Amino acid sequence: MTTLLTWLVEPLQQEFMVRALLVSMLVSCVCGLLSCYMTLKGWALMGDAVSHAVMPGVVIAYALNLPFAVGAFVFGVGSVALIGYIKQMTRIKEDTVIGLVFTGFFALGLTLISKVRSSIDLSHILFGNVLGISSSDILQTVLISLLVLTVLVVLRKDLLLFCFDPAHARSIGLHTGVLHYLLLSMLSLAAVAGLQTVGIILVVAMLVTPGATAYLLTDRFDRMVWLSILSAVLSSVAGIYWSYWMDASTAGCIVLVQTLLFLLCFLLAPRHGLLAQRRRSPRASRFPSA
Amino acid sequence: MPSGQPQFDGNERISVRHLCVDYHGVVAIHDASLHLDAGSICALVGMNGAGKSTLFKALMGFVRPTSGSIAINGLPLSQARRARAVAYVPQTESVDWNFPVNVHEVVMMGRYGAMNLLRIPRPLDREAVQEALERVDLWPLRHRQIGALSGGQRKRAFLARALAQGASVMLLDEPFNGVDIRTEKLMIELFEQFRREGRTLMISTHDLSHVTGFCDQVVLINKTVLAYGETASVFTRENLALTFGGLGLEAAAAAAIDPDPQQAP
């Protein structure tokens, strides 16, 4: 018992650990909430694309001494607009266009970072640096998180309807075009917040896994949101502790815990888990009783 | 007009004049005109690719006409949409039945346009949803996730949403696809109630037996409106031949219509 307590309390005597835990918990709330919409809308690939595409924006912003969120936002939304434009103007399929655009942006970011003289460390952007996060980065992350949380909470029902039935949303006078780009903007911002904790490469896990995990556990959206946030926060905290004691990559540990939680639910979820499905006959699981 | 209290007065529900729609230079609908009065059930009949869904999209204002005009209840589309006059009932196949919403929430979505920004339901909205759910006999099942409904219940849930919306015009996309006889009878009963209330329903279908059964109006479409009006006068061999090309006679046989149009019911 005392060893467990030591295990939990000792890291908290380090200021950087407290900061890392608090920032990660906040970012997890944002990403956990957003990931519900990403899962339901089927935008995982879009999340991957946007999170990679923000990289040149982050590099340029750092080089020009601007808030990194501004650069990330411009490039995140820009990449989405470009994907939409190329898709509309050519016959190339959307997933191809997404792959093409985000790798192009990512390559631009890589090249810039190797040529622009600045204090940024490539590995911090790629893999996150939550244990060494600076005060100004914390401030920005907090502001972004509050903005995204506010927008998502205020418009949660419109966004849900937009994900469920955009045609109906439009027919009753909702501005689905605005909702579409708003959700993508929130995705860009959440990606920037998320890359503070786990970096560009793994941020898509923050934007997808908690929502997918929660979706296996419930058929109600409000519960899905809470479960998603809970699993995201739990993963971040557990992951940071784990990385502290194992001296392992923080981003790796956080995402590993998320993935383990998902696998656990995949096996054991009460209705949609593998075991529960096995217990019912295959036919019954495809046609739920009416 | 108080929101939430739809008035189904006025005579003219849908008026389309010389409508042309094209997608990237490909003509989808050319010079289509039609007119539907209040209180009718109209079948929209045409082959795949004849422009049925384009016409629906145009009526909901999703595609910008190249030329021509559309009025709903005598209002331009933008105003009609703000009045939530047009409801679209999607094909069952196009709905994500695994989506984590229950029946009550789906029907409440019909009310969103009328609510404040946060979409917090007022007593008025709750009453409208309850009334709609009771009319389609789904009130006891309101807490069910939509995927846990039977085929017929799924159809009725979306009809309830159109009711809760207070729409005077309902566009239904292949409502009888994959429906058993009992459900079909129930749905037709509901449609006939809606008609009596002064609503106008437009039903896209390729099952012609429905047309003579309970649709009082028909619109035949093949890139343009070939004919529209009373079922008896429009649903003729000649017109069906125009609509379905060489398949016209078989289509007519399928609908079992009287070969002599003058005697058609």
Tell me the average pLDDT of chain A.
90
* pLDDT tens digits for range A71-99: 988 999 899 899 989 998 899 999 999 99
Q: How far apart are CA A139 and CA B20, in angstroms?
A: 54
What's the pLDDT score for residue A26?
95
In chain B, the percentage of residues whose pLDDT exceeds 70 is: 89
Flag whether residue A286 sits within 8 Å of chain B, measured between CB atoms. Answer: no
Residue B91 one-letter amino acid: Q
A chain contacts of residue B81, beta-carbon cutoff 8 Å: 171-173
Residue (of B258, B97, B36) closest to A286 by Cα position:
B97
B chain contacts of residue A40, beta-carbon cutoff 8 Å: 96, 99-100
pLDDT band at B265 (very low <50, low <70, confident <90, very high): very low
Pairwise pLDDT comparison (B242 vs A232), residue with the higher score: A232
**Given an 8 Å threshold on Cβ–Cβ distance, is A164 in contact with B96?**
yes
CA angle, B229 then B235 then B236, to 5°: 130
Compute the half-sphere exposure of residue A161: CA atoms within 13 Å on the CB side of its CA: 26
* pLDDT tens digits for range A174-219: 999 999 999 999 999 999 888 888 998 899 999 999 999 999 999 9
Interface of A with B in 36-75 (CB under 8 A): 40
Interface test with A, best of B54, B92, B112 (most A CBs within 10 A): B112
B chain contacts of residue A150, beta-carbon cutoff 8 Å: none
Whether the predicted interface score ipTM is above 0.90: no
| Contact status, residue B200 vs residue B13, Cβ threshold 8 Å | yes
Task: For residue A45, give every residue at least 6 positions away whose Cβ sits within 8 Å of its Cβ, in sequence order, or none.
Answer: A95, A98
DSSP conformation class of B32: E
Q: Where are the alpha helices (DSSP H) in B63-118?
A: 77-82, 103-108
Whether residue B204 is predicted with pLDDT greater than 70 in this model: the reply is yes
Q: How far apart are CA A96 and CA A104, in angstroms?
A: 12
Lowest-confidence pick of A199-213, A269-283, B52-66: A269-283
Q: How far apart are CA A54 and CA A46, in angstroms?
A: 12
Beta B200-205 vs B169-173: how paired, if at all? parallel
Tell me the average pLDDT of chain B.
86
